[in-house]
Amino acid sequence: MTDASHAMIRAALFILAWLMAPAAMAQALPVPQPSAEAPAQPAETAIAARADAGSDADIRYRIRSIFSEIAGLRAVQVRVSAGVVTLSGTVATTEDVERAAAIAGRVAGVVTVQNDLRRDLDVDTNLSPALDKFSDDVRGLVRGLPLLGVALTIAVLVGGLGYLLASFSQLWRRITPNIFLAELLATLVRFVFVVLGIVAGLEVLGATALLGAVLGGAGVIGIAIGFAVRDTVDNYVSSLMLSLRQPFRANDHVVIEGHEGRVLRLTSRATILMTLEGNHLRIPNSTVFKAVILNYTRNPERRFQFDLGIDGADNPVDAMAVGLAAIRSLDFVLIKPAASAIILDVGDSNIVLRFFGWVDQRQTDFLKGRSLALDATKSALEAAGFALPEPIYRLRFDPSAGQRGHVPEEREARAKGAQRTPGAPPVSHDAEPDASITKLVDEERADTNADDLLDHRRPIE
């Protein structure tokens, strides 16, 4: 702190002690009770019964002497008669009017002050003090430029040191293995050094008291901005938590809030998926952090299911045995967990069976395997004599319209039309996984240099 600051503090302590001294003495000494013989003292000084011309001249001389030392009150005219002071003339400001009356009223012997001062509205009179004050301020600023330059240099050097330390990204990544935390730590170091530079510069200028006002205003502004950008802050915090938890790996097949695809990248703002159609899908991290995430890749074994109906007169247990035998005969269906079947529902004219089977997604495409298992089960049931019932509709015919056709003939025609055209290529029975989307993800991750918060070294939570 500067010498002026120390002097101000000592003066404040002196005034505080002076104000508290009468109260302390009043508590220490007993208060005397007024006696019947001693008359009560008047609250104010009584006005003398006889006026003294010499006293009026002394009062006028004293007031004029004081006003002559004050630039704004030198032109004030003073007249004293019987202790009554009359002030007349013009002054530059309304503050000078009040100050002149206050000074005159403090002189001993003054009964009252009649203030007839008026403010001088002349342009030259009011402009000159303002110009003089501005000139003094400019001269003071010019004299303080070297000190201001030193303070600014110190602030820039300290802040620049913080920026230099924050630029050592490898150091912060070595301290914190998480990339997001490393960036956050570097930003914190940069902010701390900038604040230290500002404090050091204000200390050189002797204006550290200004720092409290600046920080207080910045705090209020920060709260207001925080409410305005709370969604951005929520997304930022969610990104930090996702980088710590690592809910998935790159190229994982996931479903997030109904959006399905393979994970391409986790950035500081969003999670990017490659949809099964080959498109980019960007989901805000605040949504990902709160969402229910379905990950198909974590467990390579995945169960498929499908429903088939048989005629109500058929034995459902025998049908399940035939269907399970067909499913288990497929090479890609796992032995353990074993395939199974249940009776799902018994309708008016059919019995619905549900079949289950397991595949290893690393060797078998899930949708292809389910399709081939459904086709094999259907063919086996038909070959075993189980009828797959068709929907039954009740139709009403108009007798006058005549008979338009026979149902058996129409069914036979549809069956013939459904036969495969001679020379058509056979349906593929390949159940290998489709790696096209996986290949796209790998190629894009290899080509881009963008920061990725996914870390295969950290466990998935």
* CA 16 to chain CA mean position, Å: 46
User: Contact at 8 Å (CB) between 151 and 205?
Assistant: yes
Instruction: Specify the pLDDT at position 21.
Output: 45
Identify the CA nearest to 352 among candidates 360, 364, 343: 343
Residue type, 33: Q
Return residue ranges of the chain for CATH 2.30.30.60.
Answer: 248-297+435-461
Which regions of the chain carry the CATH code 3.30.1340.30? Answer: 53-121
Supply φ then ψ for residue 165, to 5 degrees. Answer: -65, -40
Non-local CB neighbours of 350 within 8 Å, separated by 6+ positions: 309, 310, 311, 312, 389
What CATH architecture applies to the domain 53-121? 2-Layer Sandwich (3.30)
Instruction: From 390, 383, 379, select the one nearest 349 (Cα to Cα).
Output: 390
The model scores a pTM over 0.85: no
SS3 280: strand
pLDDT at 394: 64
Ranges of CATH 3.30.70.100 domains, the chain: 301-392
Report pLDDT for 337.
Answer: 92
> pLDDT below 70 — which residues of the chain?
1-54, 123-126, 129, 177-178, 180, 208-211, 214-215, 217-218, 225-229, 391-394, 398-429, 449-451, 461
Q: Which residues contact 432 (CB under 8 A, 6 or more apart)?
A: 363, 364, 365, 368
Residue 148 · residue 202 · CB < 8 Å: no
Which pLDDT belongs to residue 452?
Answer: 80
In contact, 265 and 445? CB cutoff 8 Å? yes
Tell me which amino acid residue 107 is: V
- Architecture of the domain whose range is 301-392: 2-Layer Sandwich (3.30)
Residue 372 has a pLDDT of 95
Q: For residue 342, what are the β-bridge partners?
A: 354
> Do 259 and 273 meet the contact criterion of CB atoms below 8 Å apart?
yes
Q: Which two tokens stand for residue 456?
A: 């295969």
pLDDT at 52: 63
181-225 pLDDT per residue, tens: 777 788 888 888 888 888 888 788 777 666 677 667 667 777 776
Q: Which CATH number applies to 248-297+435-461? A: 2.30.30.60
Tell me what pLDDT residue 261 has.
Answer: 94
The phi and psi torsions of 346 (rounded to 5 degrees) equal: -115, 110
Give residue-wise pLDDT tens across range 286-298. Answer: 999 999 999 999 8
Instruction: Give residue 7's pLDDT.
Output: 47
Q: Which helix (H) or strand (E) holds 272?
A: strand 270-274
Q: Indicate the Cα dihedral angle 399, 404, 408, 414, nearest 10°.
A: -140
